[in-house]
Amino acid sequence: MKRMFRILYSVVLACTFALLGACTPDPFEPDPDMLTGTWRSGTEYYHYYANSWQYEQYGGTKVEVNGNVWDTSVDEGENEALPFKWTLDGADMLQVHYDYMGSIVPKTYTITDLTSTTLTYQDKYGRTYTYSKVK
């Protein structure tokens, strides 16, 4: 009887560990619609648009963009913002920034939190950025 109890106990314990090990949390999948709008952190603003448009760089090169970034600490407003193209692949966000002289600067982030009021993401170096929704 004692031996049967040990065997049954071992089987139950093995099944419990197998089931617990199979439980992994679902990966975070931010809703791109929640990202659209204007986000602020200090004097830095990002506006994510749902639709894209053509931006003409210096020299006439046209690129498709769907966002703007500006910093009010250097007397920039939204009308002087620099454009960027953003895409989401799961929680991974790619921003490709364009400047007036034709430079292209890709930036990659992982979104860790996205609510109706807060956007938080992290770069590959572990730096965390948090923004509040303005509109």
Q: Check: CB of residue 35 under 8 Å from CB of residue 23.
A: no
Tell me what pLDDT residue 60 has.
Answer: 85
Query: The tokens of 57 are what?
Result: 């760089």
CA distances for 78 relative to 29, 75, 83, 85, angstroms = 29, 10, 10, 16
Which of 21-25, 65-69, 75-79 shows the lowest mean pLDDT across its residues? Answer: 21-25
Per-residue model confidence as pLDDT tens digits over 27-39: 778 999 999 999 9
Which class is domain 32-133? mainly beta
| Beta-carbon contacts of residue 123 (< 8 Å; ≥ 6 apart) | 107, 108, 109, 129
| Beta-carbon contacts of residue 70 (< 8 Å; ≥ 6 apart) | 44, 45, 76, 77, 78, 80, 81, 82
Per-residue model confidence as pLDDT tens digits over 47-72: 999 999 999 888 888 999 999 999 99
The pLDDT-based confidence of 73 (bands split at 50, 70, 90) is very high
Domain boundaries, the chain: 32-133
* pTM, entire model: 0.78
| Beta-carbon contacts of residue 10 (< 8 Å; ≥ 6 apart) | none
